[in-house]
Chains A and B, each alone.
Chain A
Amino acid sequence: MSTFLGLPTAPAGVGHLRGSEPFPVAARRALADTQLRRNLAKATSTIRAKRARVVAELPDWEELREAGRAIKAHTLAHLDTYLEQLESQVTARGGTVHWARDAPEANRIVTGLVRSAMATEVVKVKSITTDEIGLNDALAAAGISAVETDLAELIVQLDHDRPSHILVPAIHKNRSEIREIFLREMADVDPGLTDVPAALTQAARQHLRRKFLSAKVGISGANFAVAETGTLCVVESEGNGRMCLTLPDTLITVMGIEKVIPRWADLGVFLQLLPRSATGERMNPYTSMWTGVTPGDGPQDFHLVLLDNGRTAALADPDGRPALSCIRCSACLNVCPVYERVGGHAYGSVYPGPIGAILSPLLTGIEDNASLPYASSLCGACYEACPVKIDIPSILVEQRARHVEATHGRSAEAITMAAAAWAMSDPARFAAAQRGGQLGRLLARHGVIRRLPSPLSGWTAARDAPAPPRETFRQWWRRTGRP
Chain B
Amino acid sequence: MRIALFATCLADTLYPRVAKATVRLLERLGHEVVFPAASTCCGQMHVNTGYQRAALPLIRHYVDTFAGFEAIVVPSGSCTGSIRYQHAMVAGRLGDSRLAVRATKVAARTHELSELLVDVLGVTDVGAYFPHRVTYHPTCHSLRLLQVGDRPLTLLRHVAGIELVPLPDAESCCGFGGTFAVKNSDVSTAILADKMRNVLATGAEFCTAGDSSCLMHIGGGLSRLRTGTRTVHLAEILASTPADR
Contacts and interface: CB of A to CB of B under 8 A. Distances in A.
Direct contact of A and B (CB under 8 A): yes
Instruction: Give the most central of A437, A463, A474: most B CB within 10 Å.
Output: A463
A180 interface: no
Interface in B50-70: 50-55, 57-58, 60-61
B98 to A, nearest CB: 18
A427 B38 contact: yes
Contact of A424 (B40, B171, B190): B40
B241 to A, nearest CB: 19
B220 A465 contact: yes
Contact of B173 (A37, A379, A448, A466): A379
Interface in B1-32: 7, 9, 11-17, 19-20
A27 B184 contact: yes
Given A381-B144, A458-B185, A341 B13 contact: no
Nearest to B173: A379
B202 interface: no
Interface stretch (B41-49, B109-117, B126-134, B156-164): B41-49
A472 B217 CA distance: 20
A423 to B, nearest CB: 8
B136 interface: no
Given A377-B140, A471-B16, A425 B58 contact: yes
Given A421-B46, A472-B13, A381 B173 contact: yes
Interface stretch (A99-107, A226-234, A400-408): A400-408
Contacts of B16: 469, 471-473, 476
Contacts of B178: 378
Contacts of A410: none
B210 interface: no
B221 A421 contact: no
Contact of A458 (B37, B61, B177, B182): B182
Contacts of B55: 421
Given A377-B180, A468-B14, A341 B187 contact: yes
A404 B221 contact: no
10 contacts: A24-B183, A376-B177, A397-B47, A400-B48, A404-B49, A427-B40, A448-B220, A463-B224, A471-B16, A474-B12
B100 to A, nearest CB: 15
Contact of B188 (A37, A377, A417, A482): A377
